[in-house]
């Protein structure tokens, strides 16, 4: 079983297009005083159309935590959620919420569970989708008029229902959600630069945070500012969007049997991840509920797991906020950055070929413990190819982007050594960055005058150290493979040269 981070687990950002499996969020952020937000006022007729909020203000507004959810995963919250689910149609379960080692809180087997058994059966009435009924129908109608996509629509829905607190149907569910998880949405740019400096996940994190801010600013300018009575800024602001998107990124699932509909599934999102299972959630038409089918048996007291997908440790950190214990994730990989050299005589021609296929001079490719993709090798061949191979530039660029009909095996024996050396140089350059970070990680200037901030910094550093160790481990393996291959090539060339010299001396 893949262990979660040795200290905590968090929620992080997946891409808008790549929806992930749900997981329990079980962090204990500092318990601060919270401002109570105003209730949304639903209008029966007209709405205001004032547009006096600026984009700049959106980026600097409310910095407090939201007044919803829970700070601590208490047994009372868990019991209240379980009662609410049962009272609203959730059938008797073979699992219950309990404290666990992996995830701190998860679903634990109450009875013997067989391999191949269907569990959960969460009815559609307890599933939140873009079609869910709004407590404030006017707000929902406005958003549909503007054709707001499912992701931001659900984010707004969650904020709207959370703000109503006890008046919302989903009050008990929202009360069990984390108030402020240690999400990458809450990492500052300085923290990303400092703790993720060696990993390519840093760039993806920055991109996703930018996407959330951009989505909020777009909605604020196009919709919220025109309907301030329905979407008051004290409720619908950047901080509440960080919270709602953080919940969606860590818990939203796509249900294939419901035409790929995305949904929040209370109860099911208490399940934690294991790299050793492959079962996932889906809608079961026969039982008319969201279920999963176990791929192993469980005894009473054992935690029951699902899979969030075959993801690398970096992707799990990015999307869910935990790093499996080093060496336990068979799907682990690291992003290796390759770049054309500007000193290359054919730099412009190669760059032009790459641009035709959506690539730039620098590109990242996944390296796994089991090897690297043919696209990476094709890029390396392109990077080291001499001007005499200019007719092959387009073909190699297409192969690097996986937009080609040529056979997968890319091979040019005359430049294979240079291509492998190019990959090895990039690999060793990345290893040096990890080594530098790991060596410095034991002597960071922690602020001991602020225990709460100290805990946060220790937590972030631990996540970064766990990730760097796992990614560096893969690079070390790739380095060894490359060195052996280069040694074989060079020893073969040396043998051939000796044979040639022998023949030459014989003829003399």
- Residue positions forming the annotated binding site: 251, 269, 272-273, 283, 308, 320
The pair of structure tokens assigned to 296 is 């192993």
Cβ pair 123, 90 in contact under 8 A? yes
CA distance 487 to 417: 10
The phi and psi torsions of 362 (rounded to 5 degrees) equal -115, 135
Which ranges of 223-368 does DSSP label H, i.e. alpha helix? 238-251, 313-320, 347-355
Strands (E) in 357-496, as ranges, are: 362-368
Annotated binding residues for substrate, written as ranges, equal 251, 269, 283, 308, 320
Residue closest to 321 by CA, chosen among 375, 259, 272: 272
Residue closest to 16 by CA, chosen among 212, 261, 153, 282: 212
CA distance 30 to 48: 38
**Angle formed by the axes of helices 416-440 and 451-507, to 10°?**
150
**Residue 109 pairs with which residues in a beta bridge?**
95
- Please list, in sequence order, all residues whose beta carbon lies within 8 angstroms of the beta carbon of residue 402, skipping any fewer than 6 positions away: 375
Residues 231-234: contacts with CB within 8 Å, 24+ apart?
231/40, 231/139, 231/156, 232/38, 232/40, 232/41, 233/53, 233/61, 234/37, 234/38, 234/62
Cβ pair 323, 465 in contact under 8 A? no
């Amino acid at each position: 079983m893949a262990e979660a981070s040795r200290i905590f687990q968090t929620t992080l950002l997946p891409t808008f297009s790549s929806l992930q499996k749900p997981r329990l969020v079980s962090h204990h952020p500092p318990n601060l005083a919270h401002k109570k937000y105003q209730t949304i006022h639903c209008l029966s007729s007209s709405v205001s159309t004032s547009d006096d909020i600026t984009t700049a203000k959106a980026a600097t507004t409310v910095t407090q935590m939201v007044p919803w959810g829970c700070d601590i995963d208490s047994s009372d919250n868990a019991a209240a959620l379980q009662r609410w689910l049962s009272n609203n149609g959730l059938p008797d379960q073979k699992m219950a919420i309990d404290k666990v080692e992996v995830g701190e809180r998860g679903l634990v087997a109450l009875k013997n569970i067989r391999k191949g058994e269907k569990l959960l059966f969460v009815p559609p009435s307890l599933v939140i989708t873009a079609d869910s009924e709004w407590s404030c129908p006017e707000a929902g109608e406005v958003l549909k008029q503007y054709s707001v996509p499912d992701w931001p629509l659900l984010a707004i829905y969650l904020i709207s229902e959370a703000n109503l607190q006890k008046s919302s149907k989903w009050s008990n569910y929202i009360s069990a959600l984390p108030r402020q998880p240690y999400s990458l949405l809450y990492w500052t740019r300085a923290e990303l630069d400092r703790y993720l400096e060696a990993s390519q996940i840093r760039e993806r994190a920055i991109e996703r945070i930018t996407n959330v801010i951009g989505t909020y600013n777009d909605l604020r300018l196009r919709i919220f500012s025109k309907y301030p009575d329905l979407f008051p800024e004290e409720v619908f602001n950047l901080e509440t969007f960080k919270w709602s998107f953080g919940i969606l990124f860590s818990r939203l699932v796509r249900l294939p049997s419901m035409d790929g509909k995305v949904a929040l599934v209370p109860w099911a999102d208490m399940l934690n991840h294991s790299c050793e299972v492959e079962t996932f959630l889906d809608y079961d038409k026969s039982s008319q509920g969201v279920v999963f089918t176990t791929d192993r048996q469980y005894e009473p007291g054992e935690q029951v797991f699902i899979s969030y997908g075959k993801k690398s440790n970096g992707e799990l950190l990015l999307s869910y906020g935990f790093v499996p214990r080093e060496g336990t994730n068979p799907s682990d990989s690291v992003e290796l950055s390759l770049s054309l050299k500007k000193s290359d005589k054919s730099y412009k021609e190669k760059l032009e070929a790459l641009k035709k296929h959506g690539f730039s001079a620098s590109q990242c490719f996944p390296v796994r413990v089991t090897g690297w993709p043919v696209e990476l090798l094709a890029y390396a061949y392109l990077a080291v190819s001499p001007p005499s191979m200019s007719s092959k530039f387009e073909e190699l660029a297409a192969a690097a982007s996986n937009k080609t009909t040529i056979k997968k095996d890319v091979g040019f024996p005359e430049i294979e050594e240079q291509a492998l050396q190019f990959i090895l140089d990039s690999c060793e350059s990345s290893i040096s960055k990890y080594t530098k970070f790991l060596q410095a990680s034991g002597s960071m200037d922690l602020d001991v005058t602020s225990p709460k901030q100290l805990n946060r910094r220790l937590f972030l550093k631990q996540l970064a150290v766990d990730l760097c160790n796992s990614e560096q481990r893969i690079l070390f393996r790739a380095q060894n493979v490359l060195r052996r291959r280069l040694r074989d090539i060079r020893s073969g060339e040396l043998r051939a040269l000796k044979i040639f010299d022998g023949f030459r001396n014989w003829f003399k």
